[in-house]
Structure 1
């Protein structure tokens, strides 16, 4: 079978008014003239980009209005994307999602057939106002958490309106996000660097954590990743987390995101107990732990045995 060159697709997400449109326009201004792009703009109750203005650069633009790509307008996306790919045969597809869109649902549709056969989900961006990011009123909202959780690159805009203390708190909280972001950046006037489009978004299968809480007591860390598309068996994962304290010495932290039956769940072990919740991360399944000692090969083997056969 001939190899199909997939079009790279980038989603630009973010809450209302954070600067998604400006960010997209900044990328357009830096585009290699030899690279072919197409753009989809999703509008829902907000002033978006005028398609005619965007087309001034000769980049085909489609506007999908009347709802979010993740729900009422979602049925239009598949047909619109296929039509644009067929007509333009682009190198990249840029999608600016509505500020009210659940980004994870958009990614799910882009990965599902038939679009998944035509597209490669490359770096995903979420633009945030740091003042909102550090606010419990925003951080606790499911929509806001979804947009933060799904991205590879977290972009802090409106930094000129933030105090040094607010920016410091933003970076402190961003550094604790799990899974970690490929890049966390501050920008002026929502201007993105076009090189960020090609940021690597895949992790090696095993890695050391970048930071430990306090390593003076001899804690060790390890992380494991598994490609998206591999489902885990929920019952086997449950047994794994139940047995984890017996597989380690001095366990202080264990958490992971796993694809189970086509959905994504976050499992978190703390203070001798673990819980589960849904999560918007879509890039890969991964697990991290910190303990005094453990057999990393045994942990990896047990996780592999928990994969659906």
Structure 2
């Protein structure tokens, strides 16, 4: 029996991790799943968040999954398949990954008898989808092109006019998508995993520029046992837009009052959820430019004094 592989693609902050978490909550007890998470930076945040449920999770950190991490992904897939016999494998690509390259890696001859490329999901913010600055970018086009299921998240933040424009443009995509759905908070229905795949003449776009749209990332870790002050870490997240130029994403897992919380900043807002991660506190941001030393100083200031 081949393992069904589902790729979750989408730009930074659209809700890929939340989408996978919603599926994990619905996982049939009779099925074994594996999860692979790729991060743009070196510090794995999403893997920590997804490691709550006893499902094996592997992290691939550092760059575009299909470029610098391509060989690492193949090795990771082989290792996980050797250790497990999963029904499904869910792969969360970095928000800056060229999704076509990920598909190419999974279609390698060594995996032909082991993997079946099932429904590919791309999570989009309709406000970005209708914005030519995003829609005309090769990386964004690539993520839209490869998917079978186009998942429009954050519809509660869209105006009726924006949603209407999204529906028109999404319906005109070629080849047509097998499923186009609009959801709040990236909630995915389990049956959508069985969406038929769409025949595509090619996966990889003609030119695949290995750029990251000018973004850079930085990660920080702090040993378990050191609590962060809840008020100070809240203030830190509130002040982040002033500390980083063109901040597009910030997320972290922090020990606060001996509990562990996932803080996630996107679109000028941040939210918090409790997680079972206990290994260390970690933080990562993605922006055009920032003062790494100042960010580190602010984080250290947010630690409770010994």
The answer to whether TM tops 0.5 is yes
Residue of structure 2 aligned with 1:36, choices 32, 43, 63: 32
Q: Deviations over 1:59-105 (max 9, x none)?
A: 00000001121111111111110111111110000000000000001
Secondary structure (helix, strand or coil) at the match of 1:57 reads coil
Q: How does 1:270-281 map to 2 (within 5 A)?
A: none
The structural deviation recorded for 1:56 is 2.7
Residue of structure 2 aligned with 1:173, choices 169, 172, 188: 169
Residue 23 (str. 1) matches residue 15 (str. 2): no
Q: Distance in 2 between matches of 1:150 and 1:17?
A: 19
Secondary structure (helix, strand or coil) at the match of 2:55 reads coil
Residue of structure 2 aligned with 1:75, choices 58, 71, 75: 71
Q: Distance in 1 between matches of 2:198 and 2:92?
A: 23
Q: Distance in 1 between matches of 2:168 and 2:8?
A: 23
Match of 2:117 in 1: 121
The answer to whether the 8 A contact 1:123-1:198 is kept is yes
Match of 2:57 in 1: 61
Q: Distance in 1 between matches of 2:138 and 2:164?
A: 24
Q: Distance in 2 between matches of 1:137 and 1:121?
A: 30
Match of 2:182 in 1: 186
Aligned-residue CA RMSD in angstroms? 2.0
Distance 1:34 1:174, change over 3 A: same
More contact order relative to length (CA 8 Å, sep ≥ 6): 2
Q: Distance in 2 between matches of 1:95 and 1:171?
A: 27
Query: TM-score when scaled to structure 1?
Result: 0.64
Aligned length: 208
The answer to whether the 8 A contact 1:78-1:115 is kept is no
> Greater CA radius of gyration, 1 or 2?
1
Distance 1:160 1:144, change over 3 A: same
Structure 1: gaps spanning 5 or more residues = 204-256, 266-276, 280-309
Structure 2: gaps spanning 5 or more residues = 209-306
Residue of structure 2 aligned with 1:146, choices 142, 145, 158: 142
Residue 104 (str. 1) matches residue 106 (str. 2): no
The structural deviation recorded for 1:46 is 8.6
Q: Distance in 2 between matches of 1:264 and 1:150?
A: 8
The structural deviation recorded for 1:35 is 0.4
Distance 1:52 1:114, change over 3 A: same
Match of 1:85 in 2: 81
Secondary structure (helix, strand or coil) at the match of 2:25 reads helix
Q: Distance in 2 between matches of 1:79 and 1:47?
A: 19
Query: TM-score when scaled to structure 2?
Result: 0.64
